[in-house]
């Protein structure tokens, strides 16, 4: 089952048990023509976003693990297969900056390498029903946002990836101490399938909010959405 049909199955079940049961007969196969039930569920999901944001405690850390608990080998996931991974050239790579950022000069990989680094052994949970423990190292996003003169009162941090994937997070989660621009996995540079040269690693959110192979990062007040978020996945998606 692909993610969309999985979601539809879940929605169907949610509806069957909910007050909207009378609407289960509707057709889920036309996501571009959201019906009443779909709109009701999206409204519930956006209410859920606000509750999660209100409950999010920026001082609460995600669990960390011992080195012997690391999952080997790691598990690859993307909206395409492993043989479709786009290989980014590290030497010419740059991270473009956009939105409410004072210093929009793009960043090179060497500059990110020279910045302060944080290491963490944390768990990544995918909505498909699996989880892995890994060790990521990189630049704390709160440090980076301050360094580029980001407006920290803005609502969203938005990222775009080399493969067209995109996602966004709330500012409180972006400033969380464990949210990093990861450059390393197990003490070595990320490999292309796992996000070379840099990915967002945020252990307080589900796997799909951990975009790989970033090419641009910005700060906005307009909801930038995301690849799965725009297909109905809950936007906040704390884990
Ligand atoms: N650029 C990009 N980032 C992405 C994805 C993707 O398709 N493209 N998939 C997401 C999903 S759904 C998951 S679960 C994690 C998987 O990360 P991993 O391959 O390190 O396990 O990456 C996320 N980041
Ligand atoms: Mo995922």
Q: Which residues are paired to 98 by β-bridges? A: 218
Name the residue of 2, 7, 72, 77 whose CB sits within 8 Å of the most ligand 1 atoms, as the mutation to test its pocket.
77
| pLDDT tens, residue by residue, 123-141 | 999 999 999 999 999 999 9
Rounded Cα distance between 160 and 207, Å, is 16
136 lines ligand 1 (CB under 6 A): no
Average pLDDT over residues 219-227: 97
Name the residue with the closest Cα to ligand 1, atom 18.
Answer: 76
pLDDT given at position 18: 37
Name the band, by pLDDT with cuts 50, 70 and 90, for residue 14.
Answer: very low
Give DSSP secondary structure letters for 84-130: GPPPP-TTT-EEEEEESBS--PPEEHHHHHHS--EEEEEEEEETTTE
126 lines ligand 1 (CB under 6 A): yes
Q: Considering every ligand atom, which ligand is closest to the CA of 76?
A: 1
The Cα-based distances of 167 to 56, 121, 228 in angstroms read: 19, 23, 8
Name the residue of 202, 205, 209, 212 whose CB sits within 8 Å of the most ligand 1 atoms, as the mutation to test its pocket.
212
The torsion of the CA quartet 38, 43, 46, 48, rounded to 10 degrees, works out to -100
**CA 202 / ligand 1 centre spacing (Å):** 12
- Domains of the chain: which residue ranges? 3-55, 67-231
122 lines ligand 1 (CB under 6 A): no
**CA 201 / ligand 2 centre spacing (Å):** 13
Average pLDDT over residues 155-178: 98
First to last CA, the chain: 23
Average pLDDT over residues 75-97: 97
pLDDT given at position 181: 99
194 lines ligand 1 (CB under 6 A): yes
The whole model's pTM is what? 0.86
Q: In 3D, which of 156, 160, 180, 179 has the Cα closest to residue 169? A: 156
Q: In 3D, which of 90, 65, 74 has the Cα closest to residue 189? A: 90
Backbone angles phi, psi at 202, to 5 degrees: -140, 95
**CA 131 / ligand 1 centre spacing (Å):** 12
Average pLDDT over residues 45-66: 93
Name the band, by pLDDT with cuts 50, 70 and 90, for residue 109.
Answer: very high
Top-level class of domain 67-231: alpha beta
Q: In 3D, which of 136, 132, 127 has the Cα closest to residue 74? A: 132
Joined together, the tokens standing for residue 93 give: 């790579």
Lowest mean pLDDT among 4-8, 112-116, 124-128, 203-207: 4-8
Share of the chain above pLDDT 70, in %: 86
Name the residue with the closest Cα to ligand 1, atom 9.
Answer: 78
134 lines ligand 1 (CB under 6 A): no
């Amino acid at each position: 089952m692909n993610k969309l049909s999985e979601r539809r199955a879940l929605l169907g079940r949610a509806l069957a048990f909910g007050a909207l049961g009378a609407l289960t007969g509707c057709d889920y196969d036309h996501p571009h023509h959201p019906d009443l039930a779909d709109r009701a569920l999206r409204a519930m999901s956006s209410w859920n976003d606000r509750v999660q944001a209100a409950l999010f405690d920026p001082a609460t850390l995600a669990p960390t693990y011992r080195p012997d608990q690391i999952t080997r080998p790691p598990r690859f996931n993307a909206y395409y297969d492993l043989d479709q991974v786009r290989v980014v050239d590290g030497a010419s790579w740059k991270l473009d900056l956009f939105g409410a950022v004072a210093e929009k000069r793009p960043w090179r990989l060497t500059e990110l390498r020279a910045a302060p680094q944080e290491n963490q052994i944390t768990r990544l949970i995918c909505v498909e029903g699996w989880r892995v423990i890994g060790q990521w190292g990189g630049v704390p996003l709160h440090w980076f946002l301050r360094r580029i003169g980001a407006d920290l009162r803005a609502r969203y941090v938005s990222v775009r990836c080399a493969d067209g994937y995109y996602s966004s997070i709330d500012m409180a989660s972006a400033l969380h101490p464990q949210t990093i621009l990861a450059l390393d996995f197990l003490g070595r540079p990320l490999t292309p399938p796992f996000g070379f040269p840099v990915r967002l690693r945020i252990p307080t959110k589900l796997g799909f909010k951990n975009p790989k192979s970033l090419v641009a990062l910005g700060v906005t007040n307009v909801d930038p959405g995301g690849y799965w978020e725009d297909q109905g996945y809950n936007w906040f998606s704390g884990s």
